[in-house]
Structure 1
Amino acid sequence: MINNTGRGYVMIRKQKNILIIDDESVFREAQCSALTACGHTCISVESAGDGIQRLKSEHYDLVLLDIMMDPLDGWDTLDLIKTLPQGQEIPVFMSSAKSVFADEILRFGEQISGFIKKPFVDDDLCEYINKFFEWYDIVLADAAGAGSKGVPSDVCAEWILLSRQVRALIGLKEIVNPRCIPNGTESEEMVFARKLKDIQELIDEKMNKLSSINRDYPLLSIRG
């Protein structure tokens, strides 16, 4: 399916149901308008509590979650989402006008699937979301196919999660804010280099686990 957003054409594989949690009405409306224009359905709420209640009773393919919210910020809300029964399965994209820091990646990078910098161009937002789902739909289809041929469901679920984590962490490492607080023995540059190394080690750990699953269950692949 091809949809004209007014500035360009965006390829849509399948309509997705997206929940937007943002306490700023201008960004809720902008994200919802952009994603609706490129063929998705959106529900937007202004608080973490409203978002959690929606997630408890409704199905969503993706959550767009603002970081700078009060009284509960996006990172705390993310922790709550991941405690829900289906919380580990739902991809979450964080959004913010500020860049993501290394410490945030190290603490939360395994739990999110992407990062959107505000402000954004409508077509860029749609392209970012659609590219994720073009990849993720393949991952889900591969896992479903492997499951139908006898690969245990828990193995398929772990493979899906690891695939999402690796993709997200690689992308986050590329956009990490280089600012770090120096300490008594290390300069800001040295601290940043150490944290980049920690992020890469986390990526390597996830990739090694993926490779191990693929060795044990060749029906699963990493073609996504």
Structure 2
Amino acid sequence: MEDTILLVDDSPYIVDGLVALLKRKGFTPIATHGGDEALTVLKTMKPDLILLDIMMEPMDGWETLDRIKANPETKDLPVLMFSAKKITPEEAQEHCLNIEDFVSKPVNPSQLLDSIKRIFERRKDVKAEAGAAKDSGLDACLIDEYSALRKSIEVDKNLLVVLKNASGMNNAGREVPADDIASIKKLEEKIATDEQRLKVINEKFPKTEGTATQ
């Protein structure tokens, strides 16, 4: 069965290009041209993934994301954000728990497809690992924490790369704002803490072929 991907972008040119790309790669793309249209479509179908642009009018991607996650019927749907807009440290901190990944525009087809593949593979692995842990009698809260950490670490690492590129800290001689440096350091510390916690939890999991190791 082909995976269904809901595309949300107010640029018909971009939507048409992504529809063609995803069809060639065996996905079933559903095109929408704004947040309101996407929310209407979600009342009647549940895609396997939502590909959501940030810079849209009148409802931007962050507001659309908030409304998707506020609805009990759609809150668990995975969302991949993409945009030409540079994501800010504040946006990364506020929304990282609600997204699966972030891809910058102009969209590199290989990068986008790799991100989609990672999202589907991670969700499949985590589901299998959580099922095995549940069967072994592991505490449900611990299983939920493990699943959340698996996602958040990967998302945070991807956002860290985006933030570093946006700040220009990889450009020799460029002065980086103190606020950006502080936000990047804070995110690095969070990743390190989460990885250590994941390692502790992982030791309690029954060992399967797909179990993550840190």
TM range (shorter): 0.7 to 0.9
1:168-191 CA distance string (max 9 Å, x none): 011110121107xxxxxxx85322
CA RMSD in angstroms comes to: 2.6
1:144-182 CA distance string (max 9 Å, x none): 222333345554344323211110011110121107xxx
Distance in 2 (alpha carbons) for counterparts of 1:91 and 1:40: 15
Could you tell me how far 1:108 is from its partner in structure 2? 1.2
Match of 1:119 among 92, 106, 111: 106
Identity of matched residues, %: 28
1:2-54 CA distance string (max 9 Å, x none): xxxxxxxxxxxx73211111111111111121111111111111121222233
Query: Is 1:58 equivalent to 2:45 in the alignment?
Result: yes
Alignment: residue pair count: 204
1:104-159 CA distance string (max 9 Å, x none): 11111221111122222434322331233233322222122223333455543443
Query: Is 1:36 equivalent to 2:23 in the alignment?
Result: yes
- In structure 2, the partner of 1:68 is 55
Point out where structure 1 has 5 or more consecutive residues left out of the alignment. 1-13, 180-186
Q: Which runs of 4+ in 1 moved over 4 A?
A: 152-155
Distance in 1 (alpha carbons) for counterparts of 2:106 and 2:28: 21
Point out where structure 2 has 5 or more consecutive residues left out of the alignment. 169-174
Pair 1:116–1:55, CA change in 2 (3 A): same
Could you tell me how far 1:69 is from its partner in structure 2? 0.7
Secondary structure of the residue aligned to 1:53 is: helix
- In structure 1, the partner of 2:202 is 214
Does the 8 Å CA contact 1:173/1:196 hold for their aligned counterparts?
yes
Does the 8 Å CA contact 2:202/2:213 hold for their aligned counterparts?
no
TM-score by length of 1: 0.79
Pair 1:172–1:19, CA change in 2 (3 A): same
The amino acid of 1:195's aligned partner reads S
The amino acid of 1:24's aligned partner reads S
